[in-house]
Amino acid sequence: MKKFGLIGHPIAHSLSPALFKAGYDGRYTYDLIEEESFEAAYSRFINEYDGINVTAPFKEQAFAKADILSEECRAIGAANILIKTPQGIKAHNSDYLGVRMWIQEVSGNDASQSVLVVGAGGAGKAAAAAAASLGMQTTIINRTMSKAAQWAENQGIYKYIIKPVKAFAEEFRRSDIVIYTLPVALPQISELDRSEIEGKKALLEANYKDPVLRGNGKLWLLYQAVTGYGLFTGEKPNLERMSDVI
């Protein structure tokens, strides 16, 4: 039987095992592989597992280990899935794949819609690349504009608009879709009425443990799990049962 797992530190709180069990009715093994050292966790993957999810703080190291990079990994420069293949270890990014799937659903595949991504860390880059890959105008707001601008220039695949944090409220109101990836609340959120936040139909947060806007952070976890688990097994997991876990 194929075996899968999650590496990171700390990960004892993770919902991933429960999601995986629900998605496949317990037909596959999925473990938490918690090690303080990436090399120790990676060694366990090589010796015992067919594929792994990767979470903080090991995503950059996982990216560097891959023999084969998926298209989305090349666009972002980060990986959160490693899978053994006959050709070597292949890297994927299910944050990108999950966000892309969510955007397609909420937008009805309307490429004329505009997307605001707040934050330019790993999750923000994945979200921005997902939106841009669908042909949507994509604006990135980051606390350090130069960091976002440098990444946007260096990745060389998609075009982005970079704005300062002071433009947050204006861009929030203007954009059709908002994806918030920062772990803390920007002070500029206070410029919005609560009704404006509640009324935003297409709003996604990356932080499912402590969301700062509308409390829908678990959607991110669900969509990246659905896309990532499918890469592991070649089988589509049961979204309804996974939603019940969330």
Angle at 236 between CA 235 and CA 238, to 5 degrees: 125
Kindly write down the DSSP assignment for every residue of 95-126, as one continuous string. HHHHHHHHHHHHHTT-TT-EEEEE--SHHHHH
Cis peptide before 237 (omega within 30 of 0): no
Can you tell me the distance from the alpha carbon of 23 to that of 29, in angstroms, rounded to the nearest whole number? 12
Can you tell me the distance from the alpha carbon of 103 to that of 152, in angstroms, rounded to the nearest whole number? 20
Catalytic one of 59, 65, 90, 125: 59
Please report which residue ranges of 49-190 form alpha helices under DSSP H. 59-65, 71-76, 94-107, 122-133, 145-155, 168-174
Can you tell me the distance from the alpha carbon of 34 to that of 36, in angstroms, rounded to the nearest whole number? 7
Confirm whether 200 is a catalytic residue. no
Residues β-bridged to residue 114:
137
Q: Beta strand 81-85 with 88-92: parallel, antiparallel or unpaired?
A: antiparallel
Cite the active site residues. Answer: 59
